[in-house]
Amino acid sequence: MSKNKTPNPWYVGVVSGMASYIDSAAIVSNGTALVIYQKTIGITALEIGILSGLLTLSIAAGAFCGGRLGDRIGRRNVFIITMAMILIGTLAMAFGLSFPFLVIGTLFVGLATGADLPVSLATIAEAADDNNRGKIIGLSNLLWLVGIGATMGISAIVGDWGKIGAQIMYLHVGLVALVLLVLRWSIPESPLWLVARDELRRGVATVRAQKNGWRDLLDKKYLWPFLSLCAFYTFTNLAANTGGQFGTYVAVNVVGISVSTNSLWGLLILPVSVASGLMFMRIVDTTKRIPFFIFGAVMMSVGYFTPVLLNFSPLSWFCCLLFTNIGTGFAFEGIMKVWAQESFPTMLRATAQGVIVGVARLTCGLLAFVTPVLLTAGPIVLYCLLTAIVVAGMVIGWLCFHGKQRNEFNDEGEIVSSQTSAAHGAVNVHS
């Protein structure tokens, strides 16, 4: 495919959206493979903790840096570099077989995965139009679920193979990165980004050209959606991430079910998550977006509070898993991604989303350190806290986005009236 030919937006959506597949596959694979390495190559529990924390923090750092680079040097350059980094990182983790190599590999994979997310989503949004943008962005959420399912399937097959099983899990991520590296070569640079860069270089005072720096996130037009998305995604992600990291612990030690039963329930509910994601793709580009968001917000909030109401019984735990998986389809990462694309102009889009993702991932990493302490105070305390922060995040999201749908794609070609904005753009041309 010629670099100058505009590809089908759904093709761009699949190839770029596989960033979400790699994100989930890398995290799940790392958690399982490190446990295998503990038994086979002798890494310690302390080293596993360091590597797990390093992955979370490097994903956050990658999101901060990658989003900004995507706006500065182009989407295509970043999402090709990131796939190369993931390939190198997974090879180091598969064949290094020592703690220093695992550290290097984790840094490469974490930084690249974090950097790829905001840039790939901006690429998708700019290749689509108002009629399919939400649908294609929603596809990336389904690919995230596919990444989890594929990794769990591989783990079920090779989990008892010893060292080679861990290597296969890492190489699975590396192979996907290699295929995507080849496929992404066929995707041209975002036409909207090229137009914005050209206008910036020529000093044209359009919104998309002049709104391109960190301080522009504090502009009154962008500050409220920026802060709202940071709060909404951070609060909801805190609950989801805590459930993912410590859910098995609560299921076994508080609810009183086995690990296998908890895993089986998760697999049984996975199709519900997929169905929720497919429904989101159908309604996200319509006027039904907000009513379904409210439905999802209620389901998530009730889901986290159900174990508290029913004293962490097996039934309440199953309902918690079911309700939260339904709710996340309509009121979590998918809608955040759509709102983020619509709220910022081209040269600010990846920067803003990089900060939003980075803040959320960093906060989740920090909360993980104190979650065991919260659990010692009792699971009721923890799940009341999770319910409260989910409700707070949902209210903030609704307050910001329940009115007229924002769509910066329709406004970013307007001329900036402020002379200071034009002067700011001229400075950036020479920086």
354 membership: H or E segment, kind and range: helix 346-376
Integer angstrom CA distances of residue 180 from 120, 131, 139: 12, 26, 16
pTM for this model (two decimals): 0.84
* Tokens 């900060």 found at: 355
The pair phi, psi for residue 258, each rounded to 5°, is: -85, 165
Contact predicate 74/188, CB 8 Å: no
Nearest to 16 by CA among 133, 117, 145, 146: 117
Q: How far is CA 385 from the centre of its chain?
A: 23
Q: For residues 62 and 365, give the distance between their C-alpha atoms in angstroms, rounded to a whole number.
A: 14
Q: What residues have CB less than 8 Å from 280, skipping those under 6 apart? A: 138, 141, 292, 329, 330, 334, 335
Write out the two tokens for 147.
Answer: 């990444």
Q: Give the per-residue pLDDT at 235.
A: 95
Q: Which CATH superfamily is domain 9-189 in?
A: MFS general substrate transporter like domains (1.20.1250.20)
- CA gap 147, 189 in Å, rounded: 26
Residue in the structure block whose two tokens are 């090779």: 158
Using alpha carbons only, give the angle 332, 133, 4 rounded to the nearest 5 degrees: 135
Check for a shared fold between 9-189 and 214-411: yes
The CATH code for residues 214-411 is 1.20.1250.20
Residues 6 or more apart whose CB falls under 8 angstroms from that of 251 comprise 257, 259, 261, 262, 317
Give the model's pLDDT for residue 308: 94
Residue type, position 19, single letter? A
- Which H or E run contains 187? none
Phi (first) and psi of residue 74, to 5 degrees = 110, 150
- In the chain, where the domains are located: 9-189, 214-411
Q: Is 10 exposed, middle or buried (0-12, 13-18, 19+ CB in 10 A)?
A: middle
- Number of CB atoms found within 10 A of residue 369's CB: 10
| pLDDT tens, per residue, the chain with 431 residues | 444 466 889 999 999 999 889 988 888 888 788 888 888 888 887 888 788 878 888 999 999 999 989 988 988 999 899 999 999 999 999 999 899 999 999 999 999 999 999 999 999 988 888 888 889 998 988 898 888 888 888 888 887 888 999 899 999 999 999 999 999 998 988 888 888 888 878 877 777 767 767 888 888 888 999 999 999 999 999 998 887 777 777 888 888 888 778 778 888 888 998 999 999 999 999 999 999 999 999 999 999 999 999 999 999 999 999 999 999 999 998 999 999 999 888 888 889 999 999 999 889 878 877 777 777 778 898 899 999 999 999 999 999 999 877 777 777 667 765 444 444 444 343 33
Supply the Cα-derived Rg of the chain in whole angstroms.
21
SS3 13: helix
CA within 13 Å, CB half, 266: 16
Question: How many angstroms separate the CA atoms of 284 and 140, rounded?
Answer: 14
What pLDDT does 212 receive? Answer: 67
- Compute the distance between CA of residue 390 and CA of residue 384 in angstroms, rounded to an integer: 10
Residues 6+ apart with CB under 8 A from 367: 238, 241, 242
**What span, in angstroms and rounded, lies between the C-alpha atoms of 286 and 273?**
21
Length of the chain: 431
Could you report how far apart the first and last alpha carbons of the chain are, in Å?
34
